[in-house]
Amino acid sequence: MRDVAIIGVKNTNFGEMWDRSFRDIVVEAGVGAIEDSGISGEKLDGMYVGNMSGGQFVEQEHIGALIADYSGLSLDLHIPSTRVEAACASGGLAFRQAVMAVASGHEDLVMAAGVEKMTDVSSTAASAALAAAADREWEGIMGATFPGLYAMIAKMHMHQYGTTSEQLAAVAVKNHKNGSMNPIAQYKNLITVDNVLNSIMVADPLHIFDCSPITDGASALVLAPADIAHEYTDTPIYVKATAQASDTIALHDRRDIATLDASVAAGKRAYEMAKMTPADIDLVEVHDCFTIAEICAIEDLGFVKKGLGGKMTEDGETAIGGKIPVNTSGGLKACGHPVGATGIKQLVEVTQQLRGDSGPRQVDGAEVGMTHNVGGSGATAVVNILARKR
């Protein structure tokens, strides 16, 4: 297996893009990543595109072919383009497939992208589409939504470990602060703990400021064999690990709903692959679809003892400049959560951090970064580790 490097990246703006189409935003991301990499589109050997539910959000399936076509890469070139779906982990899994294609030697220059256009339907329709990532027969058909499922996770975490609503709110406050410094973020407003606690209750104990938004956006990156990466860029970022794990799709079948076992397993595999420990990670982008999800993630990935994630956040240890900066992009909470794109956006953020290109969000001396992308309530988890040095 060959070592693999990221040579180009691009995020579109994230938000409500009423004047732009699904294909417009993904092409913008793809072209931007190609330009950043210094290659031309015809040099690409393949594309892997993360998309959760184009069929429900924009009534479009056959996403891989659509994107190759609209990018000008199908006529004459006939580039293989594959759509990858794993609910909200679609982007992270598309990256994993692209890495394996290059590492195996089957392809050399490969794009991994992610896209979702979620605001073309009503909020009710969007909620129904997202609910398809849960167990339809045993959760969705009974009326369970993801705010409800994660509220149960939060309640259990509070019961087992004494986590407080104020600690959940601290996640949102920190991520909005980071998002305020991110030019692509959907939300750039600063908030306080009181703002969170006094906002509308969605599913007890989760307020609306505990929940990530509905978002349009796309992200893309270009991969190359590490041996030739310097032919295209002076700042290649090396893929040290990519790992995936699965768990039961229904929350009620889990060993412990306050721990996402797929995150634990994927994290352990990534650390083993990279020959690293949590102490080696300088920053991490985790899947904070709800504030409790970030607290669970930093525990499950080994950055703090189980049950202490809330206190760690409340004490400022996950802020930029803290012990382990978490979600410097603003996370899903403030940067936004176009579900198919999120996993790639996380990788773009870490790549820019390791390049030293993150402006006021920059983590000083960042050498190694991690991403953590989750599908559903934890049935799929993808963990990646990137580094400045090979």
Give the model confidence (pLDDT) of 14-25 as tens digits. 999 999 999 999
114 and 182 assigned to the same domain: no
119 and 142 assigned to the same domain: no
257 and 118 assigned to the same domain: no
**Strand pairing class (81-84; 46-50):** parallel
Question: Looking at residue 71, what is its pLDDT?
Answer: 85
277 and 375 assigned to the same domain: yes
The amino acid at residue 307 is G
Annotated catalytic, 337? yes
Q: What is the CATH number of the domain that holds 251?
A: 3.40.47.10
Question: Looking at residue 76, what is its pLDDT?
Answer: 78
Question: Looking at residue 41, what is its pLDDT?
Answer: 87
Q: pLDDT by residue (tens digit) across 171-199?
A: 999 999 999 999 999 999 999 999 999 99
Q: If pLDDT is split at 50, 70 and 90, which confidence band does 330 have? A: very high
Asked if residue 17 is part of any domain, the answer here is: yes
207 and 347 assigned to the same domain: yes
324 and 311 assigned to the same domain: yes
Last residue of a domain, one of 184, 202, 237: 237
Question: Looking at residue 77, what is its pLDDT?
Answer: 84
- Is the pLDDT confidence value at 75 over 80? no
Closest CA to 384 of 238, 239, 261, 223: 239
Asked if residue 130 is part of any domain, the answer here is: no
Q: pLDDT by residue (tens digit) across 270-304?
A: 999 999 999 999 999 999 999 999 999 999 999 99
Q: Taking the model in full, what pTM does it have?
A: 0.98
229 and 154 assigned to the same domain: no
Round to whole Å and give the CA distance between 75 and 68: 9
**Segment 92-119 mean pLDDT:** 98
**Segment 210-225 mean pLDDT:** 98
Asked if residue 30 is part of any domain, the answer here is: yes
> Which spans in the chain are helix H?
22-37, 54-57, 63-70, 90-103, 123-131, 146-161, 165-179, 193-197, 261-274, 291-300, 309-314, 331-334, 342-355
75 and 166 assigned to the same domain: no
Question: Looking at residue 74, what is its pLDDT?
Answer: 72
50 and 141 assigned to the same domain: no
160 and 294 assigned to the same domain: yes
Name the domain count of the chain.
2
Question: Looking at residue 285, what is its pLDDT?
Answer: 98
What share of the chain in percent tops pLDDT 70?
100
159 and 291 assigned to the same domain: yes
Question: Looking at residue 54, what is its pLDDT?
Answer: 93
Q: pLDDT by residue (tens digit) across 161-170?
A: 999 999 999 9
Asked if residue 284 is part of any domain, the answer here is: yes
Catalytic residue among 62, 88, 159, 211: 88
Catalytic residue among 157, 287, 337, 372: 337
Asked if residue 313 is part of any domain, the answer here is: yes
Question: Looking at residue 244, what is its pLDDT?
Answer: 98
**Segment 359-367 mean pLDDT:** 98
Task: Give residue 176's domain range.
Answer: 135-211+239-387
Asked if residue 128 is part of any domain, the answer here is: no
Asked if residue 129 is part of any domain, the answer here is: no
Annotated catalytic, 289? no
The amino acid at residue 120 is D
Asked if residue 8 is part of any domain, the answer here is: yes
Query: What's the mean per-residue pLDDT of the chain?
Result: 97
**Segment 230-259 mean pLDDT:** 97
163 and 297 assigned to the same domain: yes
